[in-house]
Every structure is written in structure tokens, then in C-alpha cells.
Structure 1
């Protein structure tokens, strides 16, 4: 195949990580790739990736903000049309975020096949716009809300690829803590930290039975402005916790953890499944379309996680949840097993198969075999 595949994605890691994973698989198969994204998305690209920047904005918010967002999308549409006319791609793979909308719409106008990928358990606003005319809709979750209205012959479940740092250490090995052994807990709050976890986790640790608390080895991400008070909170109970605003080795720490506590964004969910880690998930309540709650609910329904809504979350509730989980290692092992069963280790390859079949016009067939790469 000499015509490239164009990958269009918005400017957040949740959209860019799976887009980059697909780009790397296609490159390994000898397929040329070109990325269309905005300035924020370009920050995630390593040097050497062919890339064209386009304008994008959200057509939501106050009237002036909606107008500005629509203007930027229109400008991005013209830029995408020009880019696609020059590139003449075999297909466009869009990964959500408003930066993916202009390339997808431009591809539609030019008669270029379009695949979209939804990372969350609910179709995002950008993907809902494009799904109306997309030739293929690839889902991370089989029951993504909003996908039920789409024709099933256009839908495929691929899972959500994880970033290279996680894929490199992917393991489904999990050993729950034995009697009297240390218990490793990792607390992350997303890229910006989560104030609610800084508020509640120290108090919940203080409320644990003393014998159980003595076994806990806790690593916690905090916002920079919260570090001092969280350090003081643990000091009052003479409990040592490793605190930082950022952990460069977060994937390795997750692989060592017996239990994860944190948000439920798409990338976090994919990494929990890739490493088969049990979790207590606290969805960010202001996420668009409440997608974090949908993600967490899916894992909870499948027995792979315990979900706690931020509204109503306090130290008593979290302490009770932790006591119940940590006192029953067999339940932690069962949650790990369920997470393992939900993982799509070949998600990037499935996405590549889907977009290449679409590009070749052979629906449901692999356009370029892995052996031919």
C-alpha cells in the first residue's frame, strides 16, 4: 500500500495514546501514516512523525465561545480538505476530540473511507457527530452508550490500545498480598491530580484497623498545592506515604500495586486491564457526557473494580471499602482475573486490521496480513 492512512485525533492523551498506538502498528507493517491534529495533540508525537496541524475548537459553552469554536472548526475543515487533497489517503482513522472532526468531515466530502475509535463507554460528542457517516466504528467497550443506535454491521469491538510504556510491561500476573505481608496501594488522580483523593484517602487510611494500616505501603499523587497538607495529615497518624505531584514510572508502580485508587478515564481503564490490577474507581463527576462514570460502572458490573461516586465519598465509606477488599485477598484475585478477561492485548492490531480492510474495500477481511509486514 503506497497511499497513506491519515490519523486524526484531538489534543488529550486519552485520544492521542491509542492514535499513536495505531500509527506505530501501521508503520511496523510498512504502511505510511500522516497525522492531523491540533497544537495540543502534537505535543504527544515523537520527532519524525509526519504531521499537519489544523485548527479546532469546541462549539459549546457561552454564545461567544460557541461562535469561536465553530469558526475554528470551519477553518480546520478547510485546512483538512487541503491536506487530504494533497495526501490522497486510503482511509482516515479518527480518534475523537474536536480536532478529529474537520478531517473526518473532509474525508466524507472527498469520498475517503472513515473509521472512528471510541475509547470510553459512551460515545463522545465529536464521535457522535462523525458516527453518522463513518464507515466503521471501533469500540473499546462492547456496550458503549450511544452505539446502540448505529447499524451493527458498521460496529466492531477492538478494545483500547495502551501507551508504549504500559504495553512494554503488560502482564496478567497478579498475586494478592498474603497474610501479614505488605499491601501496595497506588493512588493516582489523573494528569492534574484529584483534590478529593487528597482529602479523603489520608483520613480513610487513618480509619483502617491498626493491624491492617501497618501493612499498607502507599504511593499517592497529589496536586502540588496539596502536598504539604497531605504530608501533614499522614504525619498525624505516624504513617509514611510516598507522595509526589508526578511519577515518571507510574506504569511500573501500577504493575507492582495490589490495589489502585483513582479516576476512570479511558487510558486509566485500559492500563488497569492491561496489567490486571484490582481498583477502586472514583469517576470525575464533571467529565463530558459523564463518561468516567460509564467507564467505572462497566468495570464494576464486570466484577473488575469497585466504584465510589465522588458525591458522598468520605473517609468512612472509603475505609470500609478498603477494609473489605484488603481483608479478602481472594476477592482481589477475582477482580484481577476479571480485569484480565476484559483486556484486549491486540487492540492496536485490531484497529490496524479494521482500517486497512476499509482502505482496501474488503469489509471484514484483513487487507494486509501481519506476516507480510
Structure 2
């Protein structure tokens, strides 16, 4: 008898693909085969996704109010829906799981049309737009934060809090205990802006480091993600300051880099917050501004309220502000150990297993 098949659907960014990867590994351990449905952006994922097969389905973001743009979007989603119908007919999955992003709309909608059990997982402290459009139709909802749907009793009735699944390499990195900086020893700083990078980190962090007193600055060892177009300027800035720095557009082994850090400066996407929590590292978080749902601000607030992170709005994230904060921590790093412990207390290392159990139950494969 062949193994049951689950279709895992995710938008092609790390914030959606990382928890999808974690679930896929947990389902494989339960004897369930996984296929991934995504878009062409997944090619930049940085590593092989643990699925039997990967299916690219046409999709488009519903954003513009221009009638012609809306027609193009509708046509693209329609093509994705028809392809999804053919996939589901051919593959006969026992369940379809969506992790958000508009590429999940066609396959999840098609699955509900065929009566296939469906589950959506939302990574953020506020539900994303694609998941909101699917929430009334799906069989079950999993959330990364408790109480996300308390204001909607109909949705809350089919919701389960699982936490945000993290990749196996994050679980491995979490085995490294936090090693606080000491005296005049090195101070390891990890700077990144999510799977797509963030230009603001390249614009703010190097000039902030320049403003730090030379004696303190000499202790810094920096790992920084920078967009390819910003990389040379960032490397030159640190080289001119005599600061040890490794700069790259993407770190496949980012969880290990987080585990080695004394302090992390980052955006506050859902996967970033989950990984900081499970690994247990203090952070300065700069939520993405102008987001319609303010999801990154809400994510960051969960760590800030636990005294695990400092949250600064991008408008206030200036070289002078950052230089002052880093100088304070370089001179007195004592608060970092408490923040690391507070972050770890917020982590849910078993989230992938909890979500896998929900998928198995919803698919009728057992308890």
C-alpha cells in the first residue's frame, strides 16, 4: 500500500517555505509523502525542499485597483486554479496544507471544491490576507500565536495553536547555549533582513559602527546579509574601519549564525521571530514599515513584551540611535543574557510535530 500524500502549499519566500519545510520533515517521519505547490520564486530558496515533487502553479497578488490589472490577476489565478484541479485529480492527496501567500489560493480553493480536507497555517500575530480569504472555507486553522482568532468565534472554533514550525537546522542550532560576551572579548553581531534582504540594514549599520568609540568597535565581529548591489559598499565600509565582517546576500546556514551571535539585528518576519525564540537570542528588531496588516510590528511586540527584544520603528532606526544602543551593550552586556533567556522562553520547538499531528488528524489518518 502506497504512503498517503499531502500537498503542502506555500508562497515562494522563506517566511512561508521554512515552516512548510519543517512540516514536511515531520510528516515524512510519520510515513506521509509530501509534494510542494509553490511559485517560481522558490528557486531562490537556497536549498533543496524535502518533497517528492515540486509543482509550480501560476499565481498573482491581489493588490492594484486598476481594472486591467485586476483582470490580469484574475486570469492568472484562474489558470492556477485549473492547474490545481488537475493536480488534485491526478495526485489524490489526503489533505492540502497552506502556509499563506497568494500561490496558496488556487490549490486550497480547488481542494475545498473537491472536498479534500484542508488546513491553513498562519505564521504571524495577525492573519495574512491570503489566509483570511481561505479561512471560512478550510477544515482547520493552525496559528503561531495564541488568541489570534479570538475575535471571530466561527474561526476560533476550528483553530488550534501550534506555534510556528522551524526547520531542523534551527532545532540543531538551539542546542548551542547562549554564551554572553565578556569583558574585552569579542562581541558577535548578526545582521539580516529576511530572505529578500533589507537595504536599510546596509544603510544604517555600517555608519552606526563608525560612530562607536574605537576601543569598543574593535571588539565587533559582524555577519551581515546585504543585497548583491549593496555588498561591495558594506564590505568596504567595514574594511575601512578595521572591523572583521562577513557579508553575503544569503546565508544558507543562518540558524547556526544566529546561534553564534551575541546580538541579532533583523526585521521581524514570522520565521525570524520563531527562530530567535527557539534558539534563544537577544535582538534589535526593525519591523517592515508601511505593511497593510502591520504583521511584523505585531510579531516583534510579542518578543518586546517578554523583554526579549528591543523594537525600533524604521524611522527611528538611525546611525546615531544604533551607535548609542550598541555602545551601551558593548560597555555593559549584562542585559543580553536575560534577554536571551526570555526569548527562549517564548519558543515552541515542537511546533512542527504539533502541526503534523493536526494534519494527520484532519486527514483522517489516525490520532
Normalised to the residue count of structure 2, the TM-score between the two structures is 0.90
Cα drift, residue 234 of structure 1: 3.5
Map of 1:60 onto structure 2:
63
The alpha-carbon distance between structure 1 residues 53 and 220, as it changes in their structure 2 partners (threshold 3 A), is: closer
Counterparts of residues 44-193 of structure 1 (less than 5 Å): 44=45, 45-46=48-49, 49-61=52-64, 62-144=66-148, 148-151=151-154, 152-171=156-175, 173-193=177-197
Residues 202-253 of structure 1: per-residue CA shift (max 9 Å, x gap): 2222222443223222222222332343344335544443333333433222
Structure 1: how far apart are the matches of 2:339 and 2:50? 39
Counterparts of residues 263-278 of structure 1 (less than 5 Å): 263-278=267-282
**Is 2:37 the counterpart of 1:36?**
yes
Structure 1: how far apart are the matches of 2:167 and 2:312? 26
The alpha-carbon distance between structure 1 residues 95 and 193, as it changes in their structure 2 partners (threshold 3 A), is: closer
Map of 1:305 onto structure 2:
309
Cα drift, residue 43 of structure 1: 6.1
Normalised to the residue count of structure 1, the TM-score between the two structures is 0.88
Cα drift, residue 150 of structure 1: 4.6
**Aligned CA-pair RMSD:** 2.4
Structure 2: how far apart are the matches of 1:324 and 1:163? 33
Map of 1:371 onto structure 2:
none
Structure 1: how far apart are the matches of 2:150 and 2:105? 18
**Is 2:244 the counterpart of 1:243?**
no
Cα drift, residue 312 of structure 1: 2.5
Q: What's the secondary structure of 2:316's corresponding residue?
A: coil
Cα drift, residue 3 of structure 1: 3.9
Higher mean C-alpha deviation, range 49-58 or range 258-267: 49-58
Q: What's the secondary structure of 1:345's corresponding residue?
A: coil
Q: Gaps (5+ residues) in structure 1?
A: 362-366, 369-373
Map of 1:203 onto structure 2:
207
Map of 1:296 onto structure 2:
300
Cα drift, residue 353 of structure 1: 0.4
Q: Gaps (5+ residues) in structure 2?
A: none
The alpha-carbon distance between structure 1 residues 234 and 48, as it changes in their structure 2 partners (threshold 3 A), is: closer
Structure 2: how far apart are the matches of 1:147 and 1:11? 29
